[in-house]
Amino acid sequence: MNKTNLYKQRQNKNRVSILTSVAVLASPLVLPLHQAVAASLTTVANFNGANGSAPRAGVFQGKDLNLYGTTSAGGSSNNGSAFKLSGAGFSTLTTLINFTGTALPNRGTNPIARLFQASNGNLYGATFTGGASNLGTLFSLASPAFTGLTTFVNFTGISNGANPAGRLIADSTGKVLWGTTSAGGASNKGTIFNVPLGGSPVTTVISFTGTNGATPLARLQLVTTNGSYYGTASLGGASNKGVVFKYTPANPIATRYSFSSFTGANGASPEAGLTVFSGFLYGTTRLGGASNVGAIFRVPIGTATSPIGAPVLVASFSGANGANPKAALTPGASSGIFYGRASTGGANNKGVVYKLNVGTTSTSTITQLINFNGTNGATPESTLIPVGTDYYGTASAGGTSGKGTVFKFTP
């Protein structure tokens, strides 16, 4: 498995020109000349190594309305950190904890999964490596300060998985956490697992074999209408280009899991979570599509007992409008509009923010909105989150020190 690190411009505003007066038949008339306001990107925080480096997971807004996130490197031990952004415009960055690798007190290295706040108010997360066996951990940060870390799972490989990359989610009761590991399990190709909110034991519900998928790198998506968990594996399947899968705990054991393979034409190497919209699950692939630099696809949600449908190509990346997306789609304010990021491509080949306008399969379009240029960030890998009318995200490189940024995107 490839374990290579998965990694201001000031806000530009176009002012609406106003035609203040026009004489028509001697009567004053004020006519606004409407001009589209361009999307903008504003840097919120720059990482410099000491306060973290290479944020590969996105931020999220906690119940206290602050933003929280992790960096995959940097901090006092260069093993990564967890941070908070607070104050006006989220301009104050506070390091909550520094990860300490395989040793106490804050075991873990290379957190690349977004943090998650559970019903008990604590934050939960995963580290890709580190921990007692250097195969990754699950940890919690205690509310309300989030400065005390508890490691409640040390991954060991075959028995309970290894190298978790996607964030944890809660089941419908809020008392059980579900996730994936990208390696480990019976075939060392990854697992789906669950674990009680209070801690161990970890229960492996699926070990990927290659045939049914391999190397899942993204979070699961619970669809409450049918009680099924959906996700992607970046490799495996009929063409070894990845799969999209469904797991339904309530079904008989023999029918709980189903999957469908990517072929390249409909995408390849999915590394992001799925997004629910209008009876479908939408997702991105890092490769495949018309130019083999990534694609957007969808599959029908179906019922609890129906097998997963084949991925259908929605739109292809071309390089100019972005390439190699590793982030999920985020719904916009208007139905059928989504925003996302591609980690490369665009005018500077440093990634883009794009808009997807969902029509029919043949008319859905990807529009590049923002080009990353290094100064305003580079190599964005994580999913945008909405906060009010804006969206926040991270870039794993670029910024004033070249070590990544947190930014605000305004459509």
State the pLDDT at residue 25. 28
Q: What whole-number distance in Å separates Cα of residue 322 and Cα of residue 405? A: 19
pLDDT, mean over the chain: 91
Going by pLDDT thresholds of 50, 70 and 90, the confidence category of residue 58 is very high
227-245: b (≥16 Cβ within 10 Å) or e: ebbbbbbbbbbeeebbbbb
Structure tokens at 324: 């190699």
Going by pLDDT thresholds of 50, 70 and 90, the confidence category of residue 9 is very low
Amino acid in position 101: G
Q: Judge whether 394 and 405 are in contact, CB under 8 Å.
A: yes
Non-local CB neighbours of 390 within 8 Å, separated by 6+ positions: 408, 409, 410
Going by pLDDT thresholds of 50, 70 and 90, the confidence category of residue 311 is very high
Q: What whole-number distance in Å separates Cα of residue 201 and Cα of residue 176? A: 11
Strand arrangement, sheet containing 40-46: 40-46, 405-410, 390-395, 385-387
Q: What is the mean pLDDT of residues 353-372?
A: 87
Which whole-number Å values give the CA distances from 42 to 328, 390, 404, in the listed order? 21, 11, 13
- The pair phi, psi for residue 23, each rounded to 5°, is -85, 120
Burial class (CB in 10 A: 0-12, 13-18, 19+), 78: middle
What are 313-323's pLDDT values in tens digits?
999 999 999 99
Q: Is the pLDDT of residue 26 over 60?
A: no
Amino acid in position 252: P
Which whole-number Å values give the CA distances from 247 to 114, 159, 328, in the listed order? 22, 20, 20
The position carrying tokens 């599509």 is 289
What are 173-206's pLDDT values in tens digits?
999 999 999 999 999 999 999 999 988 899 999 9
Domain range 41-410, its CATH number among 2.40.30.20, 1.10.287.3510, 2.30.30.60, 2.130.10.10: 2.130.10.10
Q: Judge whether 100 and 91 are in contact, CB under 8 Å.
A: no
Omega within 30 of 0 (cis) for the link into 105: yes
pTM higher than the cut 0.85:
yes
Structure tokens at 172: 């419908």
Going by pLDDT thresholds of 50, 70 and 90, the confidence category of residue 359 is confident
What are 260-298's pLDDT values in tens digits?
999 999 999 999 999 999 999 999 999 999 999 999 999
Going by pLDDT thresholds of 50, 70 and 90, the confidence category of residue 30 is very low
Q: Is the pLDDT of residue 362 over 90?
A: no
Amino acid in position 111: P
Q: Is the pLDDT of residue 37 over 90?
A: no
What are 90-129's pLDDT values in tens digits?
999 999 999 999 999 999 999 999 999 999 999 999 999 9
Q: Is the pLDDT of residue 20 over 60?
A: no
State the pLDDT at residue 245. 98
Burial class (CB in 10 A: 0-12, 13-18, 19+), 281: buried
H or E element at residue 55: none
What are 122-181's pLDDT values in tens digits?
999 999 999 999 999 999 999 999 999 999 999 999 999 999 999 999 999 999 999 999
Going through 228-351 in order, the beta strands assigned E by DSSP cover 228-233, 243-247, 257-261, 275-277, 280-285, 295-300, 312-316, 330-331, 337-342
At residue 391, the 3 state secondary structure works out as strand
* Number of alpha helices (DSSP H) and beta strands (DSSP E) in the chain: 0, 30
State the pLDDT at residue 198. 82
At residue 187, the 3 state secondary structure works out as coil
What are 367-408's pLDDT values in tens digits?
999 999 999 999 999 999 999 999 999 999 999 999 999 999
State the pLDDT at residue 110. 98
DSSP string, 219-238: --EEETTTTEEEEEESB-TT
More confident residue, 248 or 362: 248
Q: What is the mean pLDDT of residues 38-54?
A: 97
Q: What whole-number distance in Å separates Cα of residue 57 and Cα of residue 70? A: 6
State the pLDDT at residue 175. 95
Structure tokens at 262: 């990517």
